[in-house]
Structure 1
Amino acid sequence: MVNMKKLLIAILTTFSVFLTSAPVIAVPDTVTLTVHYQRSGGDYNGWNLWIWKNSDQNSLDTPISPTGVQFTGTDDFGKVVTVRIEGMKSFKDVGIIVRLNDWAAKDIDDDRFITEFDANGNAEVWLVQNEKPIFTKRPSIAMKISNASFETFSEVKVELNKPFKPIPGARNGFTISGGFKVVSVRTKNPRLSKDSELILTLNSSVSLARRYQISHPTLGKSSIAIGNLVTSSKFEKEFTYRGNDLGPTYGKDSTSFRIWAPTATKVELLTYSSATSAVEKRFAMKPDVQGTWVYKLKGDRDGLIYAYSIDVYDETNVVVDPYVKSAVANGNRGVVVDLASTKPKGWKKAKPYFSGKPTDASIYELHVRDLSMDKSAPFPESMRGKFLGLTVSDLKSSAGQPVGVNAIKDLGITHIQLLPIYDFASVDEFNPTFNWGYDPLNYNVPEGSYSSDPNDPKVRILELKQAIQALHDQGIRVIMDVVYNHVYDANSFSQNKIIPGYWFRTDSRGNLTSASGCGNDSASERSMVRKFIVDSVKYWATEYNLSGFRFDLMGLHDLETMRQVRAELNKIDPSIIVIGEGWNMGTHPAEIRANQLNVKKLPGISVFNDQIRDGIKGSVFDSADKGFATGNFAKKSNVSAGIVGNIDYSTSISGAFTTLSPAQSVNYVEAHDNNTLQDKLQLSLDAKDKPLIDSYFRLASSIPLLAQGLPFIHAGQEFQRTKGGDSNSYKSSDEVNSLKWNLIEKNSVTRNYLRGLLALRASHPAFRIESADKVKANLTFIKSPDEVIAYSLNGKNLGDSWSSIVVIHNAGTLPYTVSLPATSDWNVVVDGERAGTEILRTIQKSSVADVPALTTMVLFTK
């Protein structure tokens, strides 16, 4: 999930040199924008502009280039570029962000907007590193301190907007608050005598618990950011807590509280009589080992509403316990809960049988609210959009077709993957609307808008458990979508207010990185961030009896964190599945990223395979782009690589990344983000008539379901779900997002087709090969033209009841005759409209098969 959500913060200033000098002119249809940009150190490598036509509605914002705008020239100010922007009539202004590469960092966190143009549609602006104003006249910049941060406990890095030549052995006019003396000043780059980055050495080590300021008589002053202190090896060694009792530990006779706050000078436990009342009592917590603070309240505290008050860096922050298990409505206070009282009737630890082999799984991605909001299914009104909608298992449409969970079970999947069910911040729990939920607030708390009563902190827990148990009773396991890579708002996030500067990655200037596109990236490589992620996953796996986890933007995490997650889950239940988005992203070192390129270092963890996805249907970032199934046969090799699960198969068929085995490849053609397959086909194909679109749809869907790896389908894909062309429906209406169950009747052929493919896969191990060696030994591609992919499976060697199996995907618009491995009686079980395990027809004593256009065919010999 990558949501390039902009902060939409307009920069309003009063300086006479920026955005006040030009008369207000309505934005013309065509504008010409010249941007000058200056960096103090002259380091422009990788820096570019993200410029977009800005609308009142986020979903209508349009970038002028999908890859950003590169600077094209140099002047005596810095870098410069001029761009012509057309089609501005329906937009209000132009948005601009200075970024590093593809969102590795931003120069200032805020979005900025160019709102004024002259009568000819021209605007010329100047931007200066680390400064918010948009200047409309070239600014005269005096030398000054632009930033300061700690390099070590006794060194300060100072950044200036211009190079400075320090005098060796002197303090050069710099002073530090707190009684510290500057012993020496040197350039950060020892080869330079003059530099815009300086290192100041102090006479002793600073304290973590204090804020410091640097001053200079002519260069100004600046607070000193914590910088490298909380990420140093010294800090990790002294303050990594390894206990398992963070958060509240409830007991009938007492509840103990422990919070990790190593930089705090004072911590108080605050209690409240209600969700909205003022503080009722304050309890001074005691400092304990590895930077933790503790307090024990006697008596039965089930239902106690509480928070922490943290004194840190001369500020007092009131925060929710990061380890809290439930919360008041909208999550601004935590609640102590007796979890033993939240077990629903019939709750049991036993799960539906599953072998534990990832290739035996079939995953169905579902949003809780999507399931039950549309009126085409007769859900009880009180259960629409709620966890309880998952407990209704006997619903039928007016035409007598199963709908809801009943229909999902009938499809034959093994696992439902639920989009975020933790407490997210983007929905008002009193007035719920649709949102995907990739906006974490309280990680270990179920989302209140999905409960029947968000005011009752136990109801959300109880009803989520009821939903999970109901799915188990239907023979379906549950995977949870987890989003530890970023949070909704970094500034208000509890962990960041408890220990500022620790939780998120920053660039060299202390600015938050945003490879996630969401304004912040969690630093999973730091010991206590890693511990939280591992602890949280363990909690959900045990308390909610979950059977899998899908890691959003897993490439932003580090390898060791993901390996620890896998190891801890193996102790709980080795059949738990772990899958993730292994996109190559982030500012952490490439060699430690938990991404596709490093997946061979992640045994037991699978990654989404965008190579087969885009190979089949075309790029998800270009609605008009075509794939193999829609006529771009140059992508045949990408599809073939996905068919073997991206293993190291051969020199001619190799993947963009390489797996240890097919079990590491999640094969799909549609998911919650980007266009649905139905919409993609309608946008990319010239053909508009339904029968033809249906043929393309079944062809495209069949490829990943028959490929080696983990098959994955999006809810509603089985009946050709559409979102009306909305490719980023993260906060669109229920009308756009809800499942239209009446499409089952309209598209019953496709629904039965996918159901048959899943049954075929489940019944025959040849489609579920576990190891790379067995794939190479038993899957052989058959020579075919560009528009056809054909391969055989040696069922006999794979323990299958069918001796030999042939799969053919004809993406051409003409029939094609494929040579079969032997002359024999070949039984057809899949064609263009039907699929399953039953024989549709037999081609007697033949060595060839005639495959119609836009058709997948599966044949076998006994």
Structure 2
Amino acid sequence: MKLTTLNHRVVLAIMTIFAVFATQFAAAPAKALANDTLTITVHYNRIAGDYDNWNLWIWKNMDTGADGAGAEVKFDGEDSFGKKVTFKLEGMKPFDNVGIIARLGNWSKKDVGSTWPNGGDRFIKNFDASGKAEIWLIEGDKEIYTKEPSIGAIKPQINSAILNDFKAVTLTLNNQYTLKGTATEDFTLTDAKGANVTISSVSLPAGKTASNFVTLNLAANVDIASAYTVNHPVYGKGSVAVGSIMDSKAFADAFTYTGNDLGNTYSPSKTDFRVWAPTATAVKLITYPTLTARTGTEINMTKAEKGTWTASVAGDQHLLAYVYRAEVGGLFREAVDPYVRATVIEGDRGVVVDLSRTNPARWTPGAANKPAFSGKPTDAVIYETHVRDLSIDSNSGIPVAHRGKFLAFTDYNTTTTQVVVNKKTKKKTVVKTKNPSGISAIKEMGISHIQFLPIYDYASVVEAKPTFNWGYDPKNFNVPEGSYATKPADPVNRIMELKTMIQSLHDNDIRVIMDVVYNHVWDAGSFSQEQLVPGYFFRRTSSGEYANGTGVGNETASERPMVRKFIVDSVKYWASEYNLDGYRFDLMGIHDITTMQQVRAELNKIDPTIIVLGEGWNMGEMIPDNQKAAQINALSLPGIGMFNDEIRDAIKGSVFDSGDRGWATGKFTSISGVKAGIAGNIAFDRFVNGRWTTIDPGQSVNYVEAHDNLSLYDKLKASKRGSTEAQLASFHRLSTSVIMLAQGMPFIQAGQEFLRTKLGDENSYKSSDAVNSLKWNSRATNIVSVNYYKALLAIRKAHPAFRMDTAAAVKANLKFLNVDEPVIAYSLDGKAVGDSWNTIVVAHNPSTSARTITLPSSGDWNVVVTGSRASEATITTLKGVTTVSVPALSTWVAHKQ
């Protein structure tokens, strides 16, 4: 999941949410608008005058049914009231009204609203005969004013009350408050039982005589487990939300639990339960007699150390279904165990399992039983796929019962099928071809690691009736996804079949990387951790809203000790129990550096050859840039690779613009980004130096195609309109060959080898199987490219000059040749790194005509890549030459013994 995908996905998600809100809260369908074009003027007042980066999100709203498109509107003027803007909306007749939200940046914050009807959405419904409306909005005020209000005449109210310290409550008022000089200023604070909490003093920010921000200083520490209400005779009342107190050292010291027994701990004689819920006043364990029973038995849990609660159930509890019920703030909240390892179908109850009963035949966990791998990222070749993608196509040749399932990766020697029509009888017959498919075809490519899009339990499909979804919607982090199992209602089945898949891949010398999404969840409000410890697991803005640096509505607070512990514990569990070989961290830049360093350190203890890579985009505003696990801090994250969008976009053009071109498609000014990537984005020299720098080339994940955005073929088709299929194939081979031969860790998407298309869909996260499935018959159609890529990977695997693992080695042994642009040519000193090829020359020519380059020395050169041909064995030998002509739109490789 990349930022480009988020932009599309966020709009879709927001539109969906708006549709839900409209359905839930509208009293009756409104009459369609009379005017197709509306002209709207919005005035906006912020109490503190802090308008920087505040804007409006506007959408065509339906009170029932699907909304129209949404868009950002920026303020472009101001008056005595505040900021203002006038804009037009066209195509409005089919819609009921206009939705409007005041927001900071790209959803970093909304203008209050989480407790409002419609979640803070406001709606413009009244227009004059010409389709015009003028409105005034005030920060923290639900009202839409149609006449300019007097700020001083607005009814005073408490916009928010936040517990930021054990002895202080911070209030935000909708107008400025001046202290009267009394101890309590007529404010009162009561707990969940209605008892008064002593306020020792009331203060304003330092140096202020009047302010919208008021602090109630308390005589004693509050009980974090209680609910509190602020009252004032003029400003009314407001519920106190837990705020930055959860970031305090005092909170961490009191409630950081370091044990390894969170969740359920099974033994044949009993099962112990421990859950972290420091803000709860009571926690109950609810057990069910069957997986589907409607009612269960309540067991009171015992308050234990560091905010944990414990219980124990005697006897063999294998397959016992359970949930927790926590009383927080006077309300009972039900939650699945965050640490649960098995669930019922759809994941709404946890299940105790004896993990020894989930192991398939020949299950051989442990580093010693994995396919051989040095542990050096530059020795890896990653092949990204999706469980359903791989096998769901009707011509895949994979047994119907296994299509879209984990078990499809256990079907060996499969070949595609095709429909043959008898010319005379017109009868259609399905026949087998000799074209490999599935795991057989993948193994033939020579890749080292297969990377799966999310295989944990996610919320965006119905497991009983699965459809396609990428799965970036976590629900139960430590449970396999049920829709990929043949028996999703059986808690053991999904675990066993995932292990069976992993064992099968290991048996075929392929290691397994899991795509993990610890940066956000499907729905923050209903997520188990949020039910048990409201306000802790997710970052929130100063006004109490969920922070949204991910663009999908929430972001996890990895810097908090118990969130960090959960992430680290989770990766350790998957590595140990499922024998995984690597992790790809989605939106890794949301996480803090320390968390990712701990992930790397703990995995090293289990198996130091485990690969860790992630999306190092600089995202969000809730932690400082220098704390983010992002590209800008790669030097602080040894042993963790990052996707190199610099070489990606330099080669093929921006992923944010389908028509944009890159160096390979005629935009030759992008050449510097390509060179930086070829050198693994190390600090190579003053001429070749990327916009971000790696410690070593293994940190640079080099790619031109992934599940996000257009496939490379579709991108080429969009940016090189009018090109023939042969020309597109040439562009494709040129682009991909740069990645496969560059210093770093090469990464390809499944099907890239046979010019995969998703029919121009740049955001196929929930598109149909027709769009997403791998069309294995295309492999036969594009066998020239398939064989070309197989040979390039064989060359890379056989020759360490293409896999140097230190910056020093790359600097010493890679030399860019002095050639006319746009050609890129470089030599590799193979002898210096123990290669059987003493000197290697690689030349990439994006020109539409052949280009001549001068070789670093005269003599006999053995050509192994030229035009559309590639081979580890010599294709031809050029004797006594000092120059060579590199064919158009191609890569050329030769070596001297």
Q: Which residue of structure 1 lines up, in the alignment, with residue 422 of structure 2?
A: none
Partner SS state of residue 730, structure 2: helix
Letter in 1 for 2:497: E
C-alpha contact (below 8 Å) 2:415/2:433 kept by paired residues: yes
| Residues 14, 250 of structure 1: alpha-carbon distance in 2 compared, 3 angstrom cutoff | closer
Q: Which residue of structure 2 lines up, in the alignment, with residue 299 of structure 1?
A: 315
Deviation for aligned residue 1:89: 8.2
| Residues 653, 731 of structure 1: alpha-carbon distance in 2 compared, 3 angstrom cutoff | same
C-alpha contact (below 8 Å) 1:793/1:804 kept by paired residues: yes
Q: Which residue of structure 2 lines up, in the alignment, with residue 524 of structure 1?
A: 558
C-alpha contact (below 8 Å) 1:23/1:116 kept by paired residues: no
Deviation for aligned residue 1:496: 0.5
Q: What are the residue-to-residue correspondences of 1:140-155 with 2, within 5 Å?
A: 141-155=154-168
Q: Which residue of structure 2 lines up, in the alignment, with residue 369 of structure 1?
A: 388
Letter in 1 for 2:485: S
Letter in 1 for 2:514: M
Deviation for aligned residue 1:70: 2.8
Deviations 1:744-793 (A, max 9, x none): 01111111111111111111101101000111111111123332111111
Cα distance in structure 1, aligned partners of 2:24 and 2:764:
38
C-alpha contact (below 8 Å) 2:513/2:583 kept by paired residues: yes
Q: Which residue of structure 2 lines up, in the alignment, with residue 35 of structure 1?
A: 42
C-alpha contact (below 8 Å) 1:27/1:92 kept by paired residues: no
Deviation for aligned residue 1:244: 0.4
Deviations 1:123-162 (A, max 9, x none): 4444433455655554563232111101211111100122
Cα distance in structure 1, aligned partners of 2:98 and 2:886:
53
Deviation for aligned residue 1:91: 8.2
| Residues 373, 127 of structure 1: alpha-carbon distance in 2 compared, 3 angstrom cutoff | farther
Q: Which moved more, 1:717-726 or 1:521-530?
A: 717-726
Letter in 1 for 2:295: V
C-alpha contact (below 8 Å) 1:609/1:667 kept by paired residues: yes
| Residues 176, 414 of structure 1: alpha-carbon distance in 2 compared, 3 angstrom cutoff | same
Partner SS state of residue 330, structure 1: helix
Cα distance in structure 1, aligned partners of 2:88 and 2:865:
53
Deviation for aligned residue 1:12: 5.9
Q: Which residue of structure 1 lines up, in the alignment, with residue 180 of structure 2?
A: 167
Of residues 371, 382, 385 in structure 2, which corresponds to 1:352?
Answer: 371
Q: Which moved more, 1:840-849 or 1:320-329?
A: 840-849
Deviations 1:315-373 (A, max 9, x none): 10111111111000000000000000111011112111111111000000010000111
Deviation for aligned residue 1:827: 1.8
Cα distance in structure 2, aligned partners of 1:57 and 1:471:
48
| Residues 488, 413 of structure 1: alpha-carbon distance in 2 compared, 3 angstrom cutoff | same
Q: What are the residue-to-residue correspondences of 1:626-775 with 2, within 5 Å?
A: 626-775=661-810
C-alpha contact (below 8 Å) 2:188/2:196 kept by paired residues: no
Q: What are the residue-to-residue correspondences of 1:450-849 with 2, within 5 Å?
A: 450-586=484-620, 587-849=622-884
Residue 282 (1) aligns with residue 316 (2): no
Partner SS state of residue 316, structure 1: strand
Cα distance in structure 2, aligned partners of 1:429 and 1:851:
53
Partner SS state of residue 9, structure 1: helix
Q: Which residue of structure 2 lines up, in the alignment, with residue 182 of structure 1?
A: 199
Consecutive unaligned residues of structure 1, counting only runs of 5 or more, are none
Q: Which residue of structure 2 lines up, in the alignment, with residue 378 of structure 1?
A: 397
Partner SS state of residue 672, structure 2: helix
Deviations 1:496-553 (A, max 9, x none): 0101110000011111101111111000000000000000000000000000000000
Deviation for aligned residue 1:57: 14
Letter in 1 for 2:43: H
Consecutive unaligned residues of structure 2, counting only runs of 5 or more, are 417-431
Cα distance in structure 2, aligned partners of 1:819 and 1:56:
69
Deviation for aligned residue 1:684: 1.1
Q: Which moved more, 1:557-566 or 1:199-208?
A: 199-208
Q: Which moved more, 1:102-111 or 1:305-314?
A: 102-111
Q: Which moved more, 1:325-334 or 1:779-788?
A: 779-788
| Residues 621, 476 of structure 1: alpha-carbon distance in 2 compared, 3 angstrom cutoff | same
C-alpha contact (below 8 Å) 1:516/1:556 kept by paired residues: yes
| Residues 503, 711 of structure 1: alpha-carbon distance in 2 compared, 3 angstrom cutoff | same
Cα distance in structure 2, aligned partners of 1:679 and 1:58:
33
Cα distance in structure 2, aligned partners of 1:379 and 1:139:
68
Q: Which residue of structure 2 lines up, in the alignment, with residue 248 of structure 1?
A: 264
Cα distance in structure 2, aligned partners of 1:654 and 1:137:
57
Letter in 2 for 1:332: D
Deviations 1:241-298 (A, max 9, x none): 0000111000011111111111111111111123332333111111111111111111
Deviation for aligned residue 1:116: 6.9
C-alpha contact (below 8 Å) 2:29/2:63 kept by paired residues: no
Q: Which moved more, 1:166-175 or 1:207-216?
A: 166-175
Cα distance in structure 1, aligned partners of 2:764 and 2:525:
26
| Residues 674, 13 of structure 1: alpha-carbon distance in 2 compared, 3 angstrom cutoff | closer
Q: Which moved more, 1:165-174 or 1:523-532?
A: 165-174
Residue 262 (1) aligns with residue 278 (2): yes
Residue 403 (1) aligns with residue 437 (2): yes
Q: Which moved more, 1:158-167 or 1:284-293?
A: 158-167
Q: Which moved more, 1:659-668 or 1:679-688?
A: 679-688
C-alpha contact (below 8 Å) 1:757/1:835 kept by paired residues: yes
Partner SS state of residue 622, structure 1: coil
Partner SS state of residue 252, structure 2: helix
TM superposition score normalised by structure 2? 0.92
| Residues 96, 385 of structure 1: alpha-carbon distance in 2 compared, 3 angstrom cutoff | farther
C-alpha contact (below 8 Å) 1:699/1:832 kept by paired residues: no
C-alpha contact (below 8 Å) 1:666/1:711 kept by paired residues: yes
| Residues 114, 819 of structure 1: alpha-carbon distance in 2 compared, 3 angstrom cutoff | farther
Residue 209 (1) aligns with residue 244 (2): no
Q: Which moved more, 1:824-833 or 1:124-133?
A: 124-133
Q: Which moved more, 1:88-97 or 1:75-84?
A: 88-97
Cα distance in structure 2, aligned partners of 1:257 and 1:488:
25
Cα distance in structure 1, aligned partners of 2:855 and 2:70:
50
Deviation for aligned residue 1:679: 0.9
C-alpha contact (below 8 Å) 2:406/2:485 kept by paired residues: yes
Q: Which residue of structure 2 lines up, in the alignment, with residue 129 of structure 1?
A: 139
Deviation for aligned residue 1:796: 1.2
| Residues 53, 752 of structure 1: alpha-carbon distance in 2 compared, 3 angstrom cutoff | farther
Deviations 1:413-446 (A, max 9, x none): 0000001000001111111111100000000000
Partner SS state of residue 860, structure 2: strand
Letter in 1 for 2:47: S
Letter in 2 for 1:165: T
| Residues 115, 741 of structure 1: alpha-carbon distance in 2 compared, 3 angstrom cutoff | farther
C-alpha contact (below 8 Å) 1:428/1:449 kept by paired residues: yes
Partner SS state of residue 197, structure 2: coil
| Residues 415, 27 of structure 1: alpha-carbon distance in 2 compared, 3 angstrom cutoff | farther
Residue 45 (1) aligns with residue 52 (2): yes
TM superposition score normalised by structure 1? 0.95
Letter in 2 for 1:416: I
Cα distance in structure 2, aligned partners of 1:55 and 1:420:
34
C-alpha contact (below 8 Å) 1:24/1:117 kept by paired residues: no
Q: Which residue of structure 1 lines up, in the alignment, with residue 84 of structure 2?
A: 80
| Residues 376, 56 of structure 1: alpha-carbon distance in 2 compared, 3 angstrom cutoff | farther
Of residues 329, 347, 356 in structure 2, which corresponds to 1:331?
Answer: 347
Cα distance in structure 1, aligned partners of 2:788 and 2:142:
56
C-alpha contact (below 8 Å) 1:149/1:226 kept by paired residues: yes
| Residues 719, 14 of structure 1: alpha-carbon distance in 2 compared, 3 angstrom cutoff | closer
Cα distance in structure 1, aligned partners of 2:684 and 2:408:
44
Partner SS state of residue 739, structure 2: helix
Partner SS state of residue 99, structure 1: strand
